[in-house]
Chains A and B, each alone.
Chain A
């Protein structure tokens, strides 16, 4: 009973999320891990998947119908391929969340969403109530559909494998949906969910303009920039910056929360970070209860000081 991993990519590059999902697949203890690459003219992605350590086979479904990973077209492909596998795994992010439940339903199987630990091949731990409780659940279906919180699993090494690539055919275009276009924020900074350092601003930032102060620190640290829901709702920054239960879940090495009080909603999205720093003028702010290091002070004073201190520190041996 092999494990099938649904690969995330943009037809050119394999996304790092897939390495984490393969990491989770290997943690299931099954020696056979296959990766399904569905896309259009995406042979380089299949080749990258074949090089991941621990991957034993790559299934390549190359069809214009799969170019934008539309759920209506891709879910029947996954459901058709799923038969005979013990597990089907995908990342619990925008693509996986859209496609996997549809594929599970087409296979008359339940789905276990957003797992953070594997206790046995059929038993998983997942956060519920915005991470305020952890549920241990057992899936009883023959094929277990699972989405994986990528930050909870170490990535499989991107190099070291040499799996064969097998071309497969799928049902193609269901004729229900068309991809019209996308507006993706262009940024030189790393992606929020895979960044080693994240610096986020909250309502305390007071304006979108002031986020430039965060960006200046972010650029010194090679960090991604995030925001609390309050900052997004106030229109300081676009939706895709939001860290929290209903936004992105991050777990970087270092998380710096600036002007963020620490609503449960926000904490659910970042409290698994390795080191948390909080900068807030309210010393009673809940964020300080989970922060490793805190500075009580006006962020408009502290941020320039922080920038200067990092610059000085970088100049030292």
Chain B
């Protein structure tokens, strides 16, 4: 079985994001970039499938500027076999990413495509579902467990009140939730080995896709700040304030 995992380069989860003064977006110059944490979970799941003998090959795909090669290298160091970079400096929105990934999937013919449930930059949570729709495949979104058996995937999904389990005809698109697994750290020997693994570079043109953002970003601003309130000495005082001042209990 072949597994394709999409990996996105995003501002590191522990960096304090700053809005640009000209309100066009957030500051990304000289900011630490990392793999989207949900995509790390995706790579980890693929590597575990390979270790269990279920998967034979893992392909990591990233889309964006040349620097996304670093993100692919991280995936290769974690255990992916080879990488594909769809290189473009154009701003990419989920629908375009889904169309580009569809073209990659049609060329690579994987049995399982894994994406993160959302990217921690745009927080859109769309690409996996869009890709599954365009491919006409089943989708196992917000997955916390995956079992593959006899041409079907059983996916346990995190839903609002708890968990839901679905049986899906392969091939499928799966998106990872937090508790699917805990990603490993790449070991030094594996980081060295990853440098020799191949990364193929393609352009949207070569894939026959015209990037065409449908959503215009008009402005990006800082959210309104909350003011710190008062510190109280006792629970008694708190209850009195909540009752009389705030009127919430």
Show the binding face of A for B, using Cβ within 8 Å: 68, 70-72, 75, 93-95, 97-106, 108-114, 123, 127-141, 175-185, 191, 193, 197, 221, 229, 232, 238-240, 245-246, 248, 253-254, 264, 271, 274-277, 283, 288-296, 302, 305-306, 308-310, 312-313
A180 and B133 form a contact (CB under 8 A): no
CA distance A132 to B20 in the complex (A): 12
- Interface contact A135-B243, CB-CB below 8 Å: no
Q: In whole angstroms, what is the CA distance A247 to B141 when docked?
A: 14
| A309-B168 contact in complex given A134-B221, A254-B249, C-beta closer than 8 Å | no
- Residue contact A113 to B123, C-beta cutoff 8 Å: yes
Chain A-chain B contacts (Cβ-Cβ < 8 Å), number: 261
Q: Is the CB of A103 within 8 A of B133?
A: yes
Q: A105-B98, A184-B161 are in contact. Are A113 and B229 (CB under 8 A)?
A: no
B126–A182 CB distance below 8 A: no
Nearest neighbor of B162 in chain A, beta-carbon distance: A184
Nearest CB in chain A: distance from B139 CB, A: 6
Q: Kindly state the separation between the CA atoms of A97 and B217 in the bound complex, as whole angstroms.
A: 21
Is the Cβ of B154 less than 8 Å from the Cβ of A94?
no
B216 & A180 in contact (Cβ 8 Å cutoff): no
**Which of the listed residues B17, B128, B178, B242 has the most CB atoms from chain A within 10 Å of its own CB?**
B242
Residues of B within 8 A of A175 (CB): 169
Find out whether the CB atom of A94 lies under 8 angstroms from the CB atom of B138. Answer: no
Query: How far is A283 from B232 in the complex, measured between Cα atoms in Å?
Result: 12
> Can you show 15 pairs from A to B with CB atoms below 8 A apart?
A98-B141, A99-B129, A105-B98, A105-B134, A111-B126, A113-B123, A128-B26, A130-B120, A132-B222, A134-B223, A182-B165, A183-B162, A239-B158, A239-B178, A295-B238
| Alpha-carbon distance A308/B239, docked complex (angstroms) | 10
Smallest Cβ-Cβ distance to A108: which chain B residue: B95
Whether a CB of chain A sits under 8 angstroms from the CB of B192 is no
Mark B152-166 against chain A: 1 for CB-CB distance below 8 A, else 0: 001001111111111
Give the interface size class of chain B. Answer: 35 or more
Cα distance A248–B165 when bound, in Å? 20
Closest A residue to B244 using CB positions: A313
Which residue of B has the minimal Cβ distance to A253?
A: B248
Contact across chains for B129 and A101 when beta carbons are under 8 A apart: yes
Given A72-B139, A291-B228, A308-B235, is A240 in contact with B218 using a C-beta cutoff of 8 Å?
Answer: no
Closest chain A residue, CB of each to CB of B236? A309
A residues near B248, Cβ cutoff 8 Å: 197, 253-254, 274-275
Of B178, B223, B233, the residue contacting A133 (CB under 8 A) is B223
Residue contact B133 to A105, C-beta cutoff 8 Å: yes
Interface residues of B (CB under 8 A from A): 11, 16-17, 19, 26, 93-95, 98, 117-118, 120-134, 136-139, 141-142, 144, 154, 157-169, 177-179, 213-223, 226, 228-236, 238-243, 246, 248-249
**Main SS at interface, chain B:** mixed
Give B22 Cβ to nearest chain A Cβ, in Å.
Answer: 13
Contact status A245-B123, CB under 8 Å: yes
Q: Which of A104, A132, A288 contacts B17 (CB 8 A)?
A: A132
Please name all residues of chain A whose beta carbon is closer than 8 Å to the beta carbon of B132 when the two chains form the complex: 71-72, 102
Out of A135, A177, A246, name the residue touching B168 (CB < 8 Å): A177
B232 touches A293 (CB 8 A): yes
The 8 A-B residue pairs whose C-beta atoms are closest, nearest first, are A105-B130, A292-B229, A101-B129, A110-B214, A102-B133, A305-B235, A101-B126, A176-B138
* In the bound complex, CA of A191 to CA of B134 (Å): 34
Q: Is the CB of A129 within 8 A of B167?
A: no
Residues of B within 8 A of A274 (CB): 248
CB distance from B209 to the nearest CB of A (A): 13
CB closest residue in chain B, given A107: B133
B218 and A246 within 8 A (CB): no
Asked whether, in the complex, the Cβ of A102 is within 8 Å of the Cβ of B215, the reply is: no
**Chain A nearest CB: distance from B239 CB in Å?**
4
Asked whether A293 lies within 8 Å of B241 as measured between CB atoms, the reply is: yes
- For A264, list chain B residues within 8 Å (CB): 16
Chain B residues within an 8 Å CB radius of A106: 133-134
A161 to B141, CA, bound (A): 35
Residue of A nearest to B139 (CB): A71
Docked pose: A128 CA to B134 CA in angstroms: 25
Report Cα–Cα, A176/B17, bound state, in Å: 41
Separation in Å of the B8 CB from the closest CB of chain A?
14
Instruction: Given A123-B218, A176-B169, output 13 extra A-B contacts at Cβ < 8 Å.
Output: A71-B139, A102-B133, A106-B134, A131-B223, A180-B166, A182-B165, A183-B164, A239-B158, A240-B161, A246-B178, A283-B231, A293-B241, A293-B246
